[in-house]
Each structure stands twice: as structure tokens, then as C-alpha cells.
Structure 1
Amino acid sequence: MPSGRRRFGRYDWDAIAGIVAAGAALVLHFLHIVEVEVLLAIALVLLALLLLRDLRRESGDEAAEERLARTEAAVAALAASLRRPDVVLIGPRDLRRASAEFARRARGEVTWFNVCLLMFRPQELFDVLLRPALENPAVTTVRFILDPSQGDLWETELLPKVHAIGAGSRLAPPVWVPLREEAVSFILTDTDAGTTEAHLSFWGEPFMSRAAGLDIPRFVLHVQPGSELLVQLSEMERRYRTARAPAT
């Protein structure tokens, strides 16, 4: 019943009334009950009514357009007021794709801070995590800031793979500095958009997973451009870069 009422309400009753009146006038004219002058008068009245109806509709359309414009402006203002998140969590399902995209966007110098070089032992992980940056023509240098305990792995795991792809000229000598007390690990770089971004992780569960003796990132925080956290990471990178491992 309600649906029938809605259909009933959608009919254009002004037009229906005009059609009925015009039909009745023609029938009366054919029956010689109404003269031509009366028929013309009826036609003029109907045209006037239809014109008034169109004017009302045009006024309604203008009001609807104004409401739509106000709504669009309100939505645009709301969207502009929404802040982009400073940090986005990247999980295991998207980690490899996000890492490769991050490396492809990089430019200038890319800094790897406090990573475990064992994760580059599998050729597949090296190809996904580090190779895109080394082969990115916009990247001039890839630099590692590492704990001295990573020295043997640097020689046995990383350098052979880098030289195998002919990217040794882009790999800067590492900065050796004690990092055992640091719980953070990150990659810091400028991007092709002229901004700075970082991939930040933490040692231990749940951010790192240990499989076959390898500490492999499981979750990474993508630190977005403009985040205040980037200032802290850049300061940490600068502080350790200027430090040196104690003499042995």
C-alpha cells in the first residue's frame, strides 16, 4: 500500500489536468458546443499554467543546486580539516610490496640504521628489500649505520650480493658504532616528491620475527612526510653518523 501511494504521488498532476482539459475542449468543439475562440482561450490558459509550473520547477532546481553547492563546500571543508596520519602500520601481507615501493620512491642518500644483515642472507629478501634502492637511478648513496658485531656479515652476506649486481659504487662505507642498546631500526630517505619518509621498526616481538636464526621485520611503521617523528629519527641518524666505534 505505501509503495502504491509513492507511485501515486510521483504523477505530474498539472500535466494530467492540462491534457484532460485540452481533450475535453476538443471534444466539445467537435460536438459544436464550444466555439474556436473559447478553444483558443482554454489553450492560452493551459499554456500559462504550464509556464507557471516550469517557473516553479526552475526555482526549485535553483534551490536544489544551491543546497548541493553548500553540501559540496561543507564536504570539501571537512576533508581539508582531516589530518593525514603521521604513521601508518604496514603488516606482513603488505610489507614486501611497501618496501619495494619505498625504495623506488627514494632519491639521494638512503640510510639503513641498526639493521640485522642476516636478513639479506636469502637472495629473495635482498632482491625485495635492498636491491630496488641500489638499482634506483635517483639514489646516489646507500649507507648503513651498524653495530660492529655486524662486521663479518657485512663481508660475507652483503658485499658479495651488492657486487654481483654491479652496485658497489652506490654502497657507501658503513658507519660502525655501538648500537646494541638501541631498540629501533629504520630506513630514512628523501623521496621523488621532495619529502622525507622513513620505515621504522623495533627489535623483538611483535615487530620482528625470528625464523631460521634470522631477525626479519614483521611489522613496519611508515612514517609519513611532515611527521614530527622524522625530526627525531634524523637527529638520531646524525648523532650516530658522527660517532665512531671505540678503538679496540
Structure 2
Amino acid sequence: MYGLKSMLKVFRNIVIFFICLILLLSIIYPQLLNEIAGRVYSSLSRTTYFRDSSFDKYTKGDQNIYFLGTVHSMSLNSKNFSYLNLKAVIENLKPDLLLIESRPDQLANNNFADGPIEMLYSHLTALNCGIPVKGVDWWTPDRGEPNSTNAERDEHINRNILKEVAGHKKVLILMGKTHLKIERPKLQAAGYNLSSFSKIEKDNLFKVKDNRLLYPKGMNYYIQKRISYEKSCIGTVYKTDIWNNQAKIIIKELEEFSKVIKKTGEIQ
């Protein structure tokens, strides 16, 4: 008994020491504490908490709309929230329709890589499952800036969503997490109720059944088409330096990504 009390006393003193040390450091080096807090927050943002908080469910009558916010920096094997999780949601949910952050006119022209890369991955995955895909994004280079949104774009996206979901009972929407937040009040204003969506339900949808780190067939083909499209837009569709420079950045990133696809491989 005496030995146990001694151990507890030592443990208590160690805890008190570290608490005092942290408090002292926060006073002497406040920037250090901020950096530590930032690293902790950054780590947490990559956990399943962030993934779950970016997944909404809406209901209206017998219609269910699932809206999953993606991260444009995600990859095939990113921790906790990867392309494999997107594939899992599509396969486990089995929606009647998939809506993605791509422009309808570009999809109609067979430019399936329009928009963030995870949209192409999800598009091809859905097609392999026999699920129809529609684009709901909107932007034009003379009415905005690259990598940004505005009220006009947001309104067009909302109209496209409401138009495409009509007549479907179960719809999955994949867009960047910023659009998820912007669309919440807009969908509610259109009569869709933000419904209870438990962690268990979400975990079941995110559950990966096929762990193969491979891209869907056709991934590199459509990346090459997007590269050709961006090259054709420089100095024509894109008339300002900011858009032309953005196109050059995109081309470089896509060329690097094409190498990754070739090295990793596609599902045959």
C-alpha cells in the first residue's frame, strides 16, 4: 500500500511539473504554443471528424440527398479521407444519380477531367457502377477569378442541383467542402430538411471494401484531354494573365499527376 501511494505521488508530481512547464513556455514563447496548437489542429482536421462533419443528408418527402464535401488536396491514399473513401461511398450508397463539381458543357464535350481531380475519379467510379453522372458547376473566366467562388457562381450551382435532382429518390453530391457550406441554407430554402445522419451510418458508407491502390480505367486518358483543353484555352478562352498563368499551373500539375497514374496503374 505504501509503495502504491509513493508511485501515485511521484506520478502526480510529474503531471504538475509538465503542466507548469507548458504554462511557463506559453508565457515565454507564446508563438511556440501557437505553433503546437496549429499542428494539433492540422492533424485533427485530417481525422474522421473532419470527414464526418463534411457529410450532410437532406430529405424532402421520399427524396434523400447526400452531400459530401471533398478536399481538393486529397489523394488515392491520403489518411482517413481518400479517393478510396469516395469510391466506397458511391458503391455503398448506390445513388440514382451522382452530381459533381464539373461544368455540364465540359462533360457534354467529353472533358470528364473538368474540375478537381477527385471529381474525375468519382465520375469514372460511378460509371463503372452503372450510375449516371451530371455536372453542376458553373464559372466563366470573364466573370470571376481562378480558385474562387462568388454569388453568381453559387446561384448557378444551386439552380443546376435543383434541376438535376428532380425525379430522383437518392442523389449523391460531391463538391469541395466550401460549396457544401454555401449550399446548406440554399437547399433548406428550397424545402430540403437537414436530417439526422449518425456517425454509424457515415462510417458504414465510408467503409472501404477494395483496398487496391489503383485508378479507374480511363483516368489518364481524360487527364490528357484536360491538358489539351487547357493548352487550347491559353490566349483564347483565357484572355488575362491571371487565367493564362493558372492554366499553365494546371497543365504542369496534371502532367505530374499523369506520371503518378502511369506508375500506380489503372483497374483493367
Q: Which has the higher contact order (CA 8 A, sep 6+)?
A: 2
Fold agreement, TM-score > 0.5? no
Q: Which has the higher strand share?
A: 1
- Under a length normalisation based on structure 1, what TM-score does the superposition of the two structures give? 0.28
- Under a length normalisation based on structure 2, what TM-score does the superposition of the two structures give? 0.27
